[in-house]
Structure formats: structure tokens, C-alpha cells
Amino acid sequence: MAEASTAPRARHGSGLNLRLWLPLSWVTLLVVVAVFARWIAPHDPLAQDLLLERLPPFFMSGSEPGYWLGTDSLGRDVLSRMIYGAQIALFVSVIAASATCVFGSVLGMLAGYYGGWAERIISRLVDIWMAFPPVLFAVLLVAVMGTGLTSVIAAIALIDWTRFARVVRAETLVQTRMDYVDSARIGGARRASTLWTEILPNVLPTIIALLMLEMGIAIIVEAILSFVNLSISTDDPTWGSMIAEGRNAIHFAWWVLLFPLIALFFSVLSFSVLGEGLRQRFDPVLQ
């Protein structure tokens, strides 16, 4: 009986570890590539050579040594541009998601814990903000503020804080009704102290899961803005601009589109799965 009861638990633990380690491995690779891009990239991502235009990847005939993923229509190395594009994607995702997380989570916890007029004001603000289509709102904000990473980060933070506010508010409401909160109050703890020392640690796994998800969303938004030339300079390598260029040459240089698209897909998927895996691993309720 003991062996039968522990078998499902072991299978669940191994599945959870796999769910954590696979996306964590990709995210770690992304971080290493972004941090050490200067030393990892085999070529200058901005260097052009029309004699090397649209070289195929290494596994196809006609490839050139040293250009592992081929070149684009201007003879620029696709792999080097992807590596430097990871730098921009990771920078935007970390800064924008962190700002969004802090702002939205604080508002959500205040609304869920204190209720009353604070909850009514924050809830109405969330409803009004969510009435705007997020992608169109981002394009509008960047168009008004001007292109550049600062505008992209500000646009993402101004749009997506509502997701944190809604989810964290709901989770805080649940935690506020728990017995440990009543015990803290009976013990003489101040309301603000109870919120930050008792409720926050139990809401934190949900916040971490949302933060990972938001990092993936930030990468997508930056790619969309780059795709329509509303991010940084069109000469700088971003995954969105590479996808936009590759779309026009898909029939005779498909690798310019496919490889940055794969990197974008796996990055977004990894952040999403990693967030859910961390929540299952550290959430005391699920444990």
C-alpha cells in the first residue's frame, strides 16, 4: 500500500520538475545569450555585405562557413541579429514586467484588503482601462510618446497593470478571510503590518506566476511594435523587425522569418510555463 500511495506522488514530482527545468533551461539560455551577446555573436549584427545576401543556413547547400543561420537581404548574419535581438527582448520584458507587477499588485492588494472606497475606485479604474484594446492602445501610446525603448516599456506598463490588479485583488480577498489573518488581528498586529507580513507571502506565488506570464507578453508586445516600426531604430536588430523583413522574402529566404519566430515562440512559452510551474511548486495552498 505504501508503494502504491507514493507512486503517483513521485510521478507528479517528476512531471513538475520537468515542467520547471525545461522552460528554466530556455530562459537561462536566453539570459546568457543576452548578457554575453558581444562575445557570443559571430559577426557584427549591423555589418552589411551584398555579396553574401540571402545565404542559406548551414544544413543547406550553398551555405557559407561561419553563417550558421544564413543571412538576410543585406548580407547581415541572422544568428548575430537574433542574439542581439534577445538582448532587447529580455531588457524590455524585465523592466516593463517588473514595473507592471509592482504597480498592479500594490493596487490589487490595497483593493482586496481594505475594501470600501479604495476597492471601488481601483475597480472602476480597472474597468475603464480594460475598455481599450490593449495592442491598439500600445500602438497609440508609442505613437504619441515617440519611438524608443523607454516609450515601449512605458506603454506596456500602462496597459497591463490591470491584469495584476484584478488577479491579486481576488487572491487577497480569499486570503483576508483566512483564519491566520484573524489570529494576527487578535494578536494586536496592525492592519498594514498584517497585509505585508501575513497576506503578501501567501499571494506571492500568484504574483510570481503573473510576472513570468507578463514577461512573455512584454516580449510579444515589443515584437509587435518592432514589426510595425514603432519600437527602436529599424537598423537595430529586434525579433519583430526580423520577422517583418522575413515576411517579404519568405518564398526565397524563409530562414530570415522562421528562426526569430521560433525564438519568440519558445521564449513566450517558456515564461508562461515557468510561471505556472513556480506557482505549483511554491504555493502553500497547492502544496
Domain containing residue 165:
87-282
Number of domains in the chain: 1
Measure the CA–CA gap between 236 and 231, rounded to whole angstroms: 10
Largest CA distance in the chain: 77
With respect to residue 39, please indicate whether it lies within any of the assigned structural domains: no
Q: How far is CA 150 from CA 103, 162, 222, 230, in A?
A: 17, 20, 11, 12
pLDDT at 53 over 80: yes
With respect to residue 23, please indicate whether it lies within any of the assigned structural domains: no
With respect to residue 214, please indicate whether it lies within any of the assigned structural domains: yes
pLDDT at 194 over 90: no
Give the residue among 45, 94, 98 at the shortest CA–CA distance from 72.
45
Greater confidence, 192 or 1? 192
Give the torsion sign (CA, 147, 149, 155, 158): negative
pLDDT score for 164: 93
Joined together, the cell numbers standing for residue 284 give: 502553500
Mean pLDDT over 58-85 rounds to: 92
Residue 239 is part of a domain; what is its CATH number? Answer: 1.10.3720.10
With respect to residue 52, please indicate whether it lies within any of the assigned structural domains: no
| 8-state DSSP, 77 | B
pLDDT at 6 over 50: no
Greater confidence, 255 or 9? 255
The string of DSSP letters for 16-57 reads HHHHHHHHHHHHHHHHHHHHTHHHH-SS-TT---GGGTTPPP
Residues 206, 49 contacting (CB under 8 angstroms) = no
With respect to residue 200, please indicate whether it lies within any of the assigned structural domains: yes
pLDDT score for 3: 44
Identify the residue whose cell numbers are 519558445: 266
Q: What percent of the chain has pLDDT over 70?
A: 92
pLDDT score for 14: 54
Confidence grade of residue 141 (pLDDT, cut at 50, 70, 90): confident
Joined together, the cell numbers standing for residue 222 give: 515589443
Measure the CA–CA gap between 266 and 259, rounded to whole angstroms: 11
pLDDT score for 147: 76
With respect to residue 18, please indicate whether it lies within any of the assigned structural domains: no
With respect to residue 268, please indicate whether it lies within any of the assigned structural domains: yes
With respect to residue 128, please indicate whether it lies within any of the assigned structural domains: yes
pLDDT score for 4: 45
Confidence grade of residue 264 (pLDDT, cut at 50, 70, 90): very high
